[in-house]
Amino acid sequence: METIHSKFAVDTCEEFSMEANPGDLTEEKIKLLQGYGVNRISLGVQVLDNAMLKELGRAHQVKDVYATVNNLSKHGFSNISIDMIYALPKQTVSHFSDTLQEAISFQLPHYSAYALQIEPKTIFYNRFRKGQLHRPEQEEEVEMYRELIKKMAAHGISQYEISNFAKPGFESKHNLTYWNNDFYYGFGAGASGYLPGERTINIKPLPAYIKQANLDGRPVLKVDKIGKKEQVEEEMFLGLRKTAGIDIKLFANKFGFSMFDLYKEEVAYLENKGWVKLEDDFLRLTEEGKLFGNDVFEQFLLGMEDLERVY
């Protein structure tokens, strides 16, 4: 924190967000974060069920969530977010609805909810390959997502991105940086950065990061070059994740050509499917389109010959 304060004008920072696990934030740590200007906390709650938390390998219990939220509120933190996961093994729509209702009862200004992804080299992945992992059917996962949208709306918590919901004015500026395809630095072990023309991924774990940082001051594991093709594709993928959608005029100003110079047929196809809509100079996903996001995004992959038409 002292290093951050020595290098950046934290006092002018609109959002200084930290992630934490419930139960890890002692009152001493909360006071420390507050003293250094942190004004937003995101808690990795995942699910409000002790048995499922154990199944997920999480160290905290439901009581830790309550204790952490209470301690944060007691010390003046009002911008608190809860992260949840759904489509968990053996989870039913009814169970997820109960977790949602309990999470909403905290009356927090921000919530995130993501469907479980089975990542390689994880316990879940190994069990999934062996046929030992019972996941909800796709129809149940869709129903959970619909329940998420319905319950949040009923409590005045607006969806501003496929998986994120907030009361007005509490949309995460950090998250919006990603979806607006804006640039950002990545400091620390395993951090990602996005600068003009390149994405970077730093070395991890921490000891290896520190060793390389002391050697040459640049502990970067990988640099991916980002050309115009990748920039345009990512503008589409990321922008459509937002409920606001893609600003068609802003796209033209940013890239020097109209979105429809590249994607006229694709947009028409997706409109016909009922997955996107054009309104008020924005291209947005429909409610149905949110359920088929990957199929929508696939339509905006480019070949080099596509870009040659507009440059």
- pLDDT tens across 153-186, in order? 999 999 999 999 999 999 999 999 999 999 999 9
Q: Would the pLDDT of 125 be above 60?
A: no
Per-residue pLDDT reduced to its tens digit, 55-86: 888 899 999 999 999 999 999 999 999 999 99
pTM for this entry? 0.91
220-225 vs 198-202, strand pairing mode = antiparallel
For residues 36 and 4, the answer to whether their CB atoms sit within 8 Å is yes
Dihedral-angle region of residue 9 (phi above 0 means left; psi in -120 to 50 means alpha; beta otherwise): beta
Nearest-10 crossing angle of helices 62-74, 27-35: 40
Question: CA-CA distance, 30 to 32, in Å (whole number)?
Answer: 5
What structural domains and CATH numbers belong to the chain? 2-177 (3.30.750.200), 180-225 (no CATH), 237-308 (1.10.10)
Per-residue pLDDT reduced to its tens digit, 262-276: 999 999 999 999 999
